[in-house]
Amino acid sequence: MKENANRQYRQIVKYTGYFGGVQGLNILAALVRNKVVAVLLGPIGLGLISLYNTAVKLIGDTTNLGIPVSSVRYLSECQEEQDRCRMVATVRLWSLLTVALGAVVCCVLVPFFRLFYFSTEMRFAEFLWLVPELAINARTANSTPLPMAPAITNATPRRTIPPPAEMA
């Protein structure tokens, strides 16, 4: 029993380390990207990148439907391999649907964003270039819990808590 618990804790620490390492790489990539943009485009270019990233984050957070957070819960409830595979397939399907929804919303909101950010009719094409970035961000964000699915579902089963009447 003790050996099984140690193995489970090692798995949890290992997958947490993977997740933390990926987040560290994302931070490092963002630092390098911002430095290159600042050197190549100057402060105005860095401001534009910030505005575009804000638009992508707004649309992405609005259209992802909470899948990155809620899929962890549902994956942890899967006890059998067949249920887990079905849940992973469902998460991937909904992930693709939210990517399509985000792309449509981005295309629809381009006129509003360009007027809100720049008060001009120009910069239509720049906002359309946000659609692939939005799709990539949504796909990776929605797929984050999927590699952790084996570690989550192999955890110890939940204990049921007796009702208060039985505890007394």
pTM over 0.75: no
Reported for 9-18, long-range contacts at CB under 8 A and 24+ positions apart, including other chains, are 11/150, 11/151, 11/154, 12/151, 12/155, 14/151, 15/147, 15/148, 15/151, 18/147
pLDDT tens for the chain, residues 1 to 168:
677 778 888 888 888 888 888 888 889 998 898 888 788 888 888 888 888 888 888 888 888 888 777 777 777 777 777 777 888 888 888 888 888 888 888 888 888 887 887 777 666 777 778 788 878 877 776 666 555 555 444 444 444 444 445 444
